[in-house]
Amino acid sequence: MRQDRFRFLRAAALGKNVNSLTDDRVLKEVMRLGALQKKLFIDGKRIGDREYAEVLIAITEYHRALLSRLMAD
């Protein structure tokens, strides 16, 4: 926690944008969910299953959108 405050103060002093830890946590969770969905997709031999593919695509698109938003800030 102390390190987080230091990073915040340093970024603020340098006039840089500060990324929220919540955004970082959400991004990591989306990546984890995508990896789990991919594992289910492959291990379940569900290649060609439209529903699994749609969920995997939605997770990937959300990850990209969140990442681009974070990079723009």
Kindly give the confidence (pLDDT) of every residue in the chain, 73 residues in length, as a single tens digit, with 9 standing for 90 and above: 566 677 777 777 877 766 666 677 888 888 888 888 888 877 887 667 788 788 888 888 888 888 787 777 5
Residue 11 inside a domain? The answer is no
C-alpha torsion 59→65→70→71, nearest 10: 120
Residue 6 inside a domain? The answer is no
Residue 30 inside a domain? The answer is yes
| Prediction pTM value | 0.55
Residue 1 inside a domain? The answer is no
Residue 51 inside a domain? The answer is yes
| Residues spanned by the domain of 66 | 18-72
Our count of domains for the chain comes to 1
Run of H or E residues at 39 = helix 21-43
